[in-house]
Structure 1
């Protein structure tokens, strides 16, 4: 189980670095929103890996809160961005 958690952590860290570059180099607002949403999804996955590794379910409310914040943030930015395009 330790090997699986370490491999998942390394892969999530590498994905976060690549996504961080996409956020910084993104030419548009929507590219950055997708990058930030991906970072939030990786944080959720990291918490899920930690919950599975430690066999502790006390981080489940944090996972739910992060998923709600990610969805509402993406929906709000997309809504106002579409309004600006008109």
Structure 2
């Protein structure tokens, strides 16, 4: 299982989105305890903002490259040598 998550989330887009969302979670939690609805909703907006910023950064190329999906029962694709390598 450890090998299947190699590199998962180790990108600037992921880190930025999670940090912004975590700050929003802390803000919303603090204002919920203080019974301040406006501050709570401001924190909720920050949480959603973290998702938006992470998505924009991923679209800009700062996220993880998408990998092809593996379908169970599908034949394996023929392996090819990298370009420029001769046998």
Q: Structure 1 length normalisation: TM-score?
A: 0.49
Greater radius of gyration (CA)? 2
